[in-house]
Homo-oligomer: A and B are copies of this chain.
Amino acid sequence: MMKETLWNNITQLREKSPLVHNITNYVVMNNTANALLAAGASPIMAHAPNEMEAMMNICQVLVVNIGTLDDYWVTSMKKAAQQANQLNKPWVLDPVGAGATPYRDEVLSDLLSLHPTIIRGNASEIMALAKHNITSTKGVDSSAESNEAIAAAHILDEKYQACICISGATDIIISRDKEIHLLNGNELMTKITGMGCSATALVAAFSVIVDDRAEAVTSAMAMLGVAGEIAAQESKGPGSLQVNILDKLYSLTEKEFMSTLKLEVKRG
């Protein structure tokens, strides 16, 4: 995967402005919509079961984010995911808080059975998703958690044929024979709520532009990681960082992207 390809995908996103339907959580809706707009995509946010079918006909990709789930919203999430499958449109799962409560895990089990195209979560969420299957793969050094998450990602990939993104200080993208690491971003991004949710929405947007799942996810995570890393340099705290990331998603140049991107193709 070439850096030039990723930049080309970013310019394609800005030109084609894919329509992303989000069934997401209350906390991040505003920022997610703004991140999509700043990056060049077009957001829809709707959740009534009565209009899920019609919305899925209009949109090009679906995001299901369970952050503030309840039974009413879960009904719509399932309906929309099923419709995505029938229409052969990609859908992306953000398993917020996986493992935190039995209810979340039950809902996630149902959603996994609907075969999300892509799953993006942090290491703990990806491990929780795979927890009933995971074998002992614990390492002995500081990368133990990361190694365990990679093992979990492979289990999910094999079982559900989904491309997996483990986001963190290093973002790791796993898909069949591919493993890509991205080392961009800034620690201060963890002090803003919903950065992961924005990442998931951008992943969805790029999956309309790029057929290869791993390349789509890498494009999204690279764009956000680079924008966040540059934005952090001129931010005094998490408040200004949130604002500056939106500005940088909008104004990111090829030169900035190429000189900042830290990409490691481990396999594939």
A interface, over-half SS: helix
How many chain copies does the complex carry? 3
Q: Which of A97, A103, A193 has the most CB of B within 10 A?
A: A193
Cβ-defined contact, A48 with B239, below 8 A? no
Query: Which residue of the partner chain, among B54, B70, B101, contacts A101 with CB atoms under 8 Å?
Result: B54
Query: Which residue of the partner chain, among B38, B237, B242, contacts A248 with CB atoms under 8 Å?
Result: B237
Query: Which residue of the partner chain, among B30, B239, B247, contacts A27 with CB atoms under 8 Å?
Result: B30
Q: Which chain B residues border A50 with CB–CB below 8 Å?
A: 70-71, 101, 103
Considering the complex, give the chain B residue whose CB is closest to the CB of A27. B29
A58: interface (CB < 8 Å) = yes
Q: Which chain B residues border A191 with CB–CB below 8 Å?
A: 37-38, 250
What range describes how many residues of A lie at the interface?
35 or more
Cβ-defined contact, B194 with A30, below 8 A? yes
Contact A236:B247 (CB < 8 A) given known A25-B45, A34-B193, A70-B47: yes
Contact A237:B71 (CB < 8 A) given known A51-B101, A193-B33: no
Contact A100:B37 (CB < 8 A) given known A70-B47, A70-B48, A247-B237: no
A46: interface (CB < 8 Å) = yes
Cβ-defined contact, B193 with A48, below 8 A? no
A1: interface (CB < 8 Å) = no
Q: Write the nearest CB–CB distance from A43 to chain B, whole angstroms.
A: 7
Cβ-defined contact, B239 with A244, below 8 A? yes
Whole-angstrom CA separation of A45 from B97 in the bound complex: 10
Give me the interface of A with B, judged by CB distance under 8 Å.
25-31, 33-34, 37-38, 43-48, 50-51, 54-55, 58, 67-72, 97, 100-104, 190-194, 235-240, 242-251
